[in-house]
Amino acid sequence: MPGSGQREGQAWTAAAAVVSVALWASTFAVFKLVFHRLDPLAFTGARYLLLVPLAAGYLWRGRGTSAASPKDRRAAIVAGLLGYFLLEFLFVLGLARTTAVASAVLVATHPMWGVLFASLAARHRPPVRAVVGLLVGIAGVVVFVGAAGLGAVRAGDLLSLAAAIAFGAYAAIIERIGARVPQGEMVATSLLSGGIALVLVSAPAMLRQDWSAAVPGDWLGIAYGALGSVLLGFALWAWALKRRGMARTAPFGYLEPVFASALAVVVLGETFATHQFVGGALVLAGVIAAASAEAGLTPGATVDVAATMRP
């Protein structure tokens, strides 16, 4: 049996995983509040103005020591354009045009798309459980957004789903090159490429934004969105992964849409319809089945590659 010190260490690493997921989940409600005064793209560009120099500094410090091949570095750049630029662009535009609950549930489908893209890239047939999970998850999306009729589907729902698909493509690339590129270099390279593109695209919105309308909470939201959810969230998750292992840490990622939805109800006053409960449950079941099948693990020991590199 594990000793008290080992049990205490396991408790701390589990707490770190839960805190990191809570940080990520909180962004849905925090961002929605900030969007009352700040343009979503201006807000996102400001966040990445903080992150890009950090990524550039990390790569500059390790210049000349990279063991990655030029091909893998190019793949990391493409991953950044998908996982930071396109994901963030679609995510904030979608979140601004739908509820935080809907955005959280739809973005949570990203492991399903990651499994699909990884199978296509490897040119192998996905496991039956992965196909079933993908179909169940898609059915959940249809129920979640479409049960009230096609007229009830919001543009933000479609943008959030597109963000999840972009995130899945990002994860498939990261999974493919992850064994050959050091983790820090891979994250910094992808963040730098995607972050620069995002800042450039967001520049007109940042110039148009009336920053005098921002309240102190908005500036805190910018700092929190960059340094809290991205840097601290990733650091805690990576520490938990190192101490607990992927199989025992990744399932915590399934708490994200649950936490995000609960915060949306409490903080934003959003509500659930019956079809959203049913659709959300189907989405979560599909995600767990698809990701666990691809990892070759039982559902209780799922590997969520995308969650280990969450922007």
pLDDT at position 13 is: 83
Q: String of b and e for 274-291 (b: at least 16 CB within 10 Å)?
A: ebbeebbebbbbbbbbbb
Domain boundaries, the chain: 10-309
Distances, alpha carbon 279 to alpha carbons 91, 137, 142, 299, 311, in Å: 20, 8, 7, 20, 25
Q: What's the pLDDT tens digit per position in 31-71?
A: 999 999 999 999 999 999 999 999 999 999 887 677 778 89
Question: What pLDDT score does 94 carry?
Answer: 95
Question: Residue 144: pLDDT above 60?
Answer: yes
What whole-number distance in Å separates Cα of residue 142 and Cα of residue 164? Answer: 15
Distance CA 71, CA 56 (A): 20
Report pTM.
Answer: 0.83
pLDDT at 88: 92
Angle in degrees, CA 50, 51, 52, rounded to 5: 100
pLDDT value at position 9? 60
